[in-house]
Amino acid sequence: MQDPVVDELVGLLREVTGQGNAYGEMGSGDFGPVVRLEWGAKLFGLGVIRADCGIHGKDEFAYRRDIEDLAVVISRFIAPD
């Protein structure tokens, strides 16, 4: 399935991080289906997570560079110029 929003985000991720098409999945909560089914809106989540970040453990962390890159991607997506 091609989606222009997804394509734009992939392009931004590739420009900022040098990587594209690295997708994950958000499995918690039911808000995503509500937004999509009830409101007909698109929903996506962006975040920082790596397998070595101790996901949901007491020592869970994120890399500073990942947080900084995410901030750049979000700001460029919201205000592309």
Q: What residue ranges do the domains of the chain occupy?
A: 1-21+42-81
What's the pLDDT score for residue 25? Answer: 55
User: What digits encode the pLDDT tens for the residues 30-62?
Assistant: 667 777 787 776 666 777 878 888 888 999 999
Taking the C-alpha atoms of residue 18 and residue 3, their distance in angstroms, rounded to an integer, is 21
Is 0.85 surpassed by the pTM of this model?
no
Percent of the chain with pLDDT over 90: 22
Residue 76 has pLDDT above 90, yes or no: yes
Alpha carbon distance 14, 6 (integer Å)? 12
Tokens of 28: 């918690």
Look up tokens 């996506």; give the residue. Answer: 44
pLDDT band at 68 (very low <50, low <70, confident <90, very high): very high
